[in-house]
Structure 1
Amino acid sequence: MLNIYITRHGETQWNSENRLQGWKDSELTDNGKRNAVALGERLYQINFNTIYTSPIDRAVKTASLVCSDRNIPILFEDGLKEINLGDWEGKVKEEIEQTSKQEFFNFWNAPHLYNHEMHNGESFAALKSRVENVINRIIADNKEGNILIVTHGVTIRAILSYLMNIPTEKWWEGPFIEGTSLTLAQYDEGTFQVKMIGDTLHIKKTTSV
Structure 2
Amino acid sequence: MPTEVYLVRHGETMFNQLNKVQGWSDSPLTVKGINDLKVTARNLSQVHFDRMYSSDLKRAIDTVHLMKDANEVSELGKIKKLPAFREVFFGSFEGDDIDETWKKVAVAGGLKPETDIDKIINQLGIAKFREATKKADPRHLAENSEELDERMDQAIDQLTQEAQGLGRVLIVSHGDFIKTLAIKYWNQANGSHVVPFPENGSVTRGILHDNGKFEIVDYNIKNNELINF
Superposed pair shares fold, TM > 0.5: yes
Q: Which has the higher contact order (CA 8 A, sep 6+)?
A: 1
Offset, 1:202:
4.5
- Give structure 1 stretches of 5+ with no counterpart: 204-209
Who is 2:197 aligned against? 176
Asked if 1:130 is matched to 2:143, the reply is no
Aligned-pair Cα RMSD in Å: 2.5
* CA–CA separation in structure 2 for the residues paired with 1:193 and 1:96: 32
Residues 201 and 125 (structure 1 numbering): CA distance in 2 closer, same or farther, change over 3 Å?
same
- Give structure 2 stretches of 5+ with no counterpart: none
Who is 2:96 aligned against? 91
Deviates more, 1:190-199 or 1:24-33: 190-199
* CA–CA separation in structure 2 for the residues paired with 1:92 and 1:15: 11
Who is 2:46 aligned against? 45
Deviates more, 1:86-95 or 1:28-37: 86-95
TM-score, normalising length: structure 2 = 0.77
Who is 2:18 aligned against? 17
Deviations 1:34-89 (A, max 9, x none): 12222111111222122121111111111111111555231111101111101111
Who is 2:79 aligned against? 74
Who is 2:56 aligned against? 55
The count of residues paired between Structure 1 and Structure 2 equals 201
SS for the counterpart of 2:42 is: helix
Contact 2:90 2:142 in 1 (8 A): yes
Offset, 1:193:
4.2
Who is 2:7 aligned against? 6
TM-score, normalising length: structure 1 = 0.84
